[in-house]
Amino acid sequence: MKNSKLPPNEKVNQLQDHTTDNNDQKLTTNQGLKINNNQDSLKADERGPSLLEDFILREKITHFDHERIPERIVHARGSGAHGVFKMTKSLEKYTKAKFLQEVGKETPVFVRFSTVAGSSGSTDLARDVRGFAIKFYTEEGNYDLVGNNIPVFFIQDAMKFPDLIHAVKPEPDNAIPQAASAHDTFWDFISLMPESMHMIMWAMSDRAIPRSLRMMEGFGVHTFKFINCEGTVHFVKFHFKPKLGVHSVAWDEATKISGKDSDFHRRDLWEAIENGAFPEWEFGVQLIPEEDEHKFDFDLLDPTKLIPEEEVPVEIVGTLTLNRNPDNFFAETEQIAFHPGHLVPGIDFTNDPLLQGRLFSYTDTQLSRLGSPNFHEIPINRSINTVHNNQRDGHMRQQIVKGKVSYEPNSIGGGCPFQAMMKDGGFSTHNERVDGQKIRARSQSFVDHYSQAKLFYNSQSGPEKQHLQNALIFELSKVTIPAIRERVVGQLAFINKDLAAVVAKKVGVKVTHLDQPNGSIPADADPK
Ligand code: HEM
């Protein structure tokens, strides 16, 4: 199926204005000058030196020399597609976000899936978390849901993110290993970070080697807030459930596929969409009234915890369908810039200390990755509603804003935009009372690191448990420092003593906590 046959949407129409078709066109320079010889440089005589004045050669080579931009510091390897988000049940009762109001309402989206640790040329089938990032081009501006395929995260506080990533990325001395996880530094860090154990259970499970990007779940991970027209707040967790079901490959299959076709997921997504087998997800929410914030035995602000669906069922309210491949990988999939702080009225973030750090990180990194404060003007990043503000200039400015005035207040007029009242769709941060000591600390409500890890392990079927054990044995057998293996096994003993015993035996270490009742934490437990 050719992209041109698909129903356009507002975003795709907007992109058309920036799209060029080179078919049957004459070759030109960047200045539009037609070129009549694209084979030979300009020389002093046929066998003489090339001339500096050859502006055509210089332009061609200069542009080529600057083709690469920095890859994303994390999630460098990705694949994306356009699609549509459609509401099947109104969320009006909970949020005033316009794109979530009416049944049948369609919103254009661009989705980018990714692995986390590998470089942009790494294999799709690495054992790793997958990014699941969605840009909703709403009438009120872009809303980004920058999530993963696993509902929890390794760490509780943004302060630890650079450490986590330095531990998981190739080691600085030899840049090995290029794929995720199986090495000393990663397991060293994990062994010293008990808060990572819940996520480790997911990352060592089959969830971390999906069969297809079309067959994995998506999660917002953090708890967010919905605010309705009356100002009533609900906490919300976001879910995407693939209509094809959740499927994984076994580790043996993953290694074989990686050897034969490291683009396996990218190809699968592309071909499915080209062939009209559009991937679909149900979109669901878990909603918690504001007054129930503290009724759970974990903290809603702790990103290493999920809300069990038995306690708060997921309500399905929409569908996400990917129906159009990008026309140009670099222009769309590479240049798209997501940010968890791209919000619309009716949605707000919470004080989750991991999310709070993310709110700083994305724009900051994109300034160097995309090279200019005007990266919001790159076609894939533009909102479908027009942008009006007093920002000006900067590298590669595209917009030509008319008028004499670019400050406010002013008495001259001359094209200055005015702030919007809430009734006119102006975004207003949800008022929240905050008082207390300024303090660099972790909340006591974040200290239980093992209950949900146990829940996850116990929820696995026999073969799934076996796969998880095998993954841990494989990974830890690659760790060269016995003390690290021992510490990880010590952590596993807090989750399941049988799991710890099997792993310990296979990787040749002793477990110290095996005499404790299954998974309980000894009073003097000190992972260090
Ligand atoms: C990408 C930082 C936690 C999901 C990125 C990028 C940075 C970053 C710098 C590269 C962005 C770019 O170059 O455009 C952080 C920090 C975190 C954090 C500082 C914690 C403090 C998370 C968590 C999730 C997540 C918890 C999932 C809920 C993603 C995804 C991408 C990404 C999906 C790729 C977006 C794309 O496809 O372009 N993150 N991240 N990150 N992050 Fe995070």
Cβ 237 under 6 angstroms from ligand 1: no
Cβ 72 under 6 angstroms from ligand 1: yes
Give the pLDDT band (50/70/90) at residue 224: very high
pLDDT tens by residue, 250-277: 999 999 999 999 999 999 999 999 999 9
Cβ 161 under 6 angstroms from ligand 1: yes
The residue whose CA is least distant from atom 37 of ligand 1 is 112
Kindly tell me if the per-residue pLDDT of 519 is higher than 50: no
The residue whose CA is least distant from atom 24 of ligand 1 is 147
Percent with pLDDT over 90 in the chain: 89
Average pLDDT (492-517) is 86
Cβ 133 under 6 angstroms from ligand 1: yes
pLDDT tens by residue, 149-168: 999 999 999 999 999 999 99
Phi, psi of 148 (to 5 degrees): -130, 175
Residue with the bigger pLDDT between 528 and 159: it is 159
- The interface pTM score, or ipTM, of the predicted complex is 0.94
Give the pLDDT band (50/70/90) at residue 413: confident
- In this prediction, residue 1 carries a pLDDT of 54
The residue whose CA is least distant from atom 5 of ligand 1 is 74
Give the pLDDT band (50/70/90) at residue 414: confident
Cα separations (Å) of 436 from 158, 300, 353, 433, 439? 20, 19, 16, 10, 9
The residue whose CA is least distant from atom 32 of ligand 1 is 75
Cβ 238 under 6 angstroms from ligand 1: no
Kindly tell me if the per-residue pLDDT of 514 is higher than 60: no
CA distance 141 to 343: 8
- In this prediction, residue 181 carries a pLDDT of 63
Cβ 154 under 6 angstroms from ligand 1: no
Pairing of strands 347-348, 280-289: unpaired
Of 180-189, 336-345, 375-384, the range with the lowest mean pLDDT is 180-189
CA distance 290 to 44: 78
CA distance 215 to 285: 19
* Torsion from C-alpha of 112, 166, 362, 200, nearest 10 degrees: 60
pLDDT tens by residue, 422-434: 888 999 998 999 9
Kindly tell me if the per-residue pLDDT of 526 is higher than 80: no
Write down the mean pLDDT value for the chain: 94
Distance 74 CA to ligand 1 centre (A): 7
Cβ 146 under 6 angstroms from ligand 1: yes
Put residue 415 in one of left, alpha, beta given phi > 0 → left and psi -120 to 50 → alpha.
left
The residue whose CA is least distant from atom 27 of ligand 1 is 147
Residue 166 identity: H
- In this prediction, residue 415 carries a pLDDT of 74
Average pLDDT (98-109) is 98
Is 72 annotated for ligand binding? yes
User: DSSP state, 114?
Assistant: E
Distance 157 CA to ligand 1 centre (A): 14
- In this prediction, residue 461 carries a pLDDT of 97
Structure tokens at 355: 């999310």
Contact assessment for residue 115 and residue 130, using Cβ atoms and an 8 Å cutoff: yes
Q: What angle separates helix 251-260 from helix 462-477, to the nearest 10 degrees?
A: 60
Would the CA dihedral through 111, 115, 116, 119 be positive or negative?
Answer: negative
Cα separations (Å) of 514 from 204, 435, 498? 21, 43, 9
Is 68 annotated for ligand binding? no
Q: What is the pTM of this model?
A: 0.95
Cβ 208 under 6 angstroms from ligand 1: no
pLDDT tens by residue, 303-352: 999 999 999 999 999 999 999 999 999 999 999 999 999 999 999 999 99
Alpha carbon 479 to its chain centroid, in Å, reads 28
User: Is 148 designated active site?
Assistant: yes
Is 369 annotated for ligand binding? yes
- In this prediction, residue 525 carries a pLDDT of 47
Phi, psi of 85 (to 5 degrees): -110, 130
Is 161 annotated for ligand binding? yes
- In this prediction, residue 518 carries a pLDDT of 42
Is 112 annotated for ligand binding? yes
Is 358 annotated for ligand binding? yes
- In this prediction, residue 2 carries a pLDDT of 55
Cα separations (Å) of 271 from 5, 79, 301, 333, 527? 16, 12, 39, 16, 47
Residue 276 identity: G
Pocket test of ligand 1: the residue of 144, 161, 362 to mutate, having most ligand atoms within 8 Å of its CB, is 362
The residue whose CA is least distant from atom 25 of ligand 1 is 147
Cβ 164 under 6 angstroms from ligand 1: no
Of the residues 9, 75, 467, 496, only one is catalytic, namely 75
The residue whose CA is least distant from atom 28 of ligand 1 is 147
pLDDT tens by residue, 59-77: 999 999 999 999 999 999 9
User: Which residues are within 8 A (CB) of 491 and not within 5 positions of it... i.e. 6 or more apart?
Assistant: 190, 191, 194, 197, 527
Q: How many CB atoms lie within 10 A of CB 468?
A: 25
- In this prediction, residue 463 carries a pLDDT of 97
Percent with pLDDT over 70 in the chain: 95
Q: What angle separates helix 161-168 from helix 353-370, to the nearest 10 degrees?
A: 60
Strands (E), 9-162: 78-87, 106-115, 130-138, 141-148
User: Which residues are within 8 A (CB) of 414 and not within 5 positions of it... i.e. 6 or more apart?
Assistant: 403, 404, 405
Smallest CA-to-CA distance from 506 within 475, 483, 527, 481 is with 475
Of the residues 142, 148, 325, 496, only one is catalytic, namely 148
User: Which residues are within 8 A (CB) of 78 and not within 5 positions of it... i.e. 6 or more apart?
Assistant: 72, 112, 113, 114, 115, 120, 131, 333
Residue 414 identity: G
